[in-house]
Structure 1
Amino acid sequence: MIGTIRINVIVAALAGIFTFALSIGNNVFLTTCLRSFYSFLILFVLTFGFRWVLGFMMGLEHANGNLLEDSTNNAVGQNLDVITPDEDAATHEMLKANMNPHHADIAKESEFSPLNPPKLVTKNNLDPEQLAGALRRMSED
């Protein structure tokens, strides 16, 4: 764990005092003291958990640092190299291809053109008797 129990006590005491100050105006004195005590206990325990997680993470960092320093040929295949290779040559080739005047003609041909969907067609001359019949059939269902 990182730090000492003094950190837990300070954080929990601040939480208890803050809870006491905010609830003294709205609650009875005994209720205020009880809620402040609960706040103290909860934050005291949570601070232990937080310190444990930080200590665990720091322990992993130290362990990883020691593995890298002590690595020999016997440890081949136990470490993963996640560094991406340099792709400067491929990038330069792409930039040169973009500067080519023939490429500009191809780019003009493939410019953006919006989608042209078919227009909706409405029927203006409908028979009123057919409309009334369709409405009756729909209302029956």
Structure 2
Amino acid sequence: MIGTWRWNVGLGLFGGVLTLLFSLGSNGLEVSVLRSVYAFIAFFALAFLFRILLAASLRGNTREAGEEPGKSMDENKGSTLDVSTPDETDQLHDMLKMQLDGNVKTDAVEQAPFQPLTPPKLVSTQNKEPEELAKAIRHLTGG
């Protein structure tokens, strides 16, 4: 379990004193003290419950994949993820030096220079024969 009993007592005292301060203005001293004792017990129990839940959740997160009892190695595959990246700074420096020197290695096929797309121009339907238009519509609708 996380922490010690001192956490429970500290949170219990905090709740008891807070209840006593708020209760003194509207109740007598005996009722206020009794309610602060009840608040101390309630906060003490809540702190104990909170510590148990926190310890259980942290114990579940720190458990290694191979430590789980009753599982074979096949069942543990894929339960851990290595997110570290390999150190490739030397290769990167070499590539940058080659690019600065102009010795960029390209594939056997030379790349063609950039040419913008030249789509066909839209054709107006004003001077078309009606049979050609019907044929085009049938072709587009699949009928």
TM-score, structure 1 normalization: 0.50
TM-score, with normalisation over the residues of structure 2? 0.49
Which structure has the greater CA radius of gyration?
Answer: 2
The structure, 1 or 2, with the larger RCO (C-alpha pairs under 8 Å, 6+ apart) is: 1
